[in-house]
Structures are given as C-alpha cells and as structure tokens.
Amino acid sequence: MNHSSTQHKYTQTGHSQDQLAPSLDYWYVWTDQEGVSHQSRRQMQDFQLQSISPPASPQWLGQLKQKGATISFTVMPVGWTGAWHENPKPQWIIPLSGSWFVETMDGQRVEMGVGEISFGADQNTQADAQGRKGHLSGTIGSEPAVLMLVQFEEMPSLE
C-alpha cells in the first residue's frame, strides 16, 4: 500500500500540529456512462491529528461516515476465479492475507495483497460483446485470499 504525505515539518514527538498529514491510496472500481467498468487510483486525504479517545495521544484519523454498513469476511480458495459480476453494493475491500486480482471490463487487471484497499462501485454495468459485466476476480499464489468487506446500502462520500 502506498502512503503519501503533504509537505509539513515532521517531529518525532507525536504531538506537533506540523507533522506530515498522510494520504491513503486505494483502487476505485467504477462504471462509466456507457456501462463499462474501470479502475482508477484515488486517495483519501482528510486526516486530522487528534486523539481517537482521550487521553490517548493524537494520531492521524480519517473517517468516512455512512449509515447502513455491513462488515463481512470472505475466504477465496487457492486457484479460485469467480465469474464476471458486479459488486453487489458499494463496498470497501481490504485484503487481510493472501493476494487477489480484479480485472475490469476495460481490460485493466490490478493485483492486490495485504493492506491494498479497493472500493467496489461498479454497479449498473452493461454486458459487452463478450458477455462481460462488472469485473472478474480471483486469487493469486499458493494461499487463500482472506478479505474484509465493508458494504453500504448507499454510496458513501469518498471525499
């Protein structure tokens, strides 16, 4: 996973307001107006230096609030490849172990391992001439891919 930062002075104490404000990269799977799925790199950037629960020392905290979330875990067996499908609802996908891939209708294939976050929002795609709709996903390597899914009833704000 790639973590980048804005330009600020960094101190080792953990208490300066002039530390580097982090950003968090993720893959965004989305549908265009023609119903074709794509993947783009995006960043979460709204991190605030604050205590998560006083009196704990400040840390960089980024929050995306949304009602109606369901958290699920899935284990994809070694060698598993699913059929072409859409994400059933907008969802964050966080690999906990193993590796997996997502291939979108535009032909882009992204391989992700532990901690490489994806946001699946490819609902309402239209089948192409080969019958592909949404995305194809599967495991990579010699161990199962264990994923945590945070699924939403409505599209959350990603900004």
Read off the pLDDT of residues 90-133 as tens digits, 9 standing for 90 and up. 999 999 999 999 999 999 999 999 999 999 999 999 999 999 99
Domains for the chain: give ranges and CATH numbers.
24-43+64-152 (2.60.120.10)
Q: Cis peptide before 55, with omega less than 30 degrees from 0?
A: yes
Residue scoring higher pLDDT (18 or 74): 74
**Residue-wise pLDDT tens digits, 3-61:** 443 333 323 334 445 567 888 889 999 999 999 999 999 998 888 888 877 877 887 87
